[in-house]
């Protein structure tokens, strides 16, 4: 989980089949929406070994809330690859060259 002043919990890279890759910045509104529709809690995401099923579920809910996807979770899983983008630690350089 990302801990920063922008209140972003996760960044998830989404690559739709035949589409352009985009990054979802998951904030508290996305977490609350996901909790409401999935019946899960933020604690499920803070576990040391988060499952890919949870990542897909959170990404799909976030994409829906941000108006980037309107299908079902099954459709999202079928057409999209996802991955959590790790945040650089305090001693690691930012790979984008930013500060």
pLDDT tens-digit profile of 51-90? 899 999 999 999 999 999 999 999 999 999 999 987 544 4
Beta carbons of 45 and 58 less than 8 angstroms apart: yes
- What are 32's two structure tokens? 């609350």
Express each pLDDT in 18-38 by its tens digit: 999 999 999 999 999 999 999
DSSP letters, 39-98, are ---HHHHSSSS--HHHHHHHHHHHHHHTTS--S-HHHHHHHEEEEEPPPP-TTSPPTTS-
Confidence of residue 7 (pLDDT cuts 50, 70, 90): confident
| Integer angstrom CA distances of residue 22 from 15, 18, 80, 85 | 7, 13, 11, 12
Q: Which residue has the higher pLDDT, 45 or 26?
A: 26
pLDDT at 87: 57
What is the spatial distance between Cα 65 and Cα 95, in angstroms, rounded to a whole number?
A: 29
State phi, psi for 39 to the nearest 5 degrees.
75, 10
pLDDT at 89: 44
> Does pLDDT of 99 surpass 70?
no
pLDDT at 31: 92
Domain boundaries, the chain: 8-84
pLDDT at 49: 73
Q: What is the mean pLDDT of residues 40-55?
A: 82
């Amino acid at each position: 989980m990302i801990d920063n002043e922008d209140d972003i919990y996760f960044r998830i890279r989404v690559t739709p089949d035949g589409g352009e890759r985009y990054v979802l910045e998951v904030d508290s509104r996305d977490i609350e929406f996901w909790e409401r529709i999935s019946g899960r809690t933020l604690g499920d995401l803070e576990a040391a070994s988060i499952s890919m099923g949870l990542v897909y579920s959170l990404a799909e809910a976030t994409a829906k809330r941000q108006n980037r996807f309107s299908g079902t979770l099954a459709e999202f899983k079928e057409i999209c690859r996802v991955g959590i983008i790790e945040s650089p630690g305090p001693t690691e350089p930012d790979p984008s060259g930013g500060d």
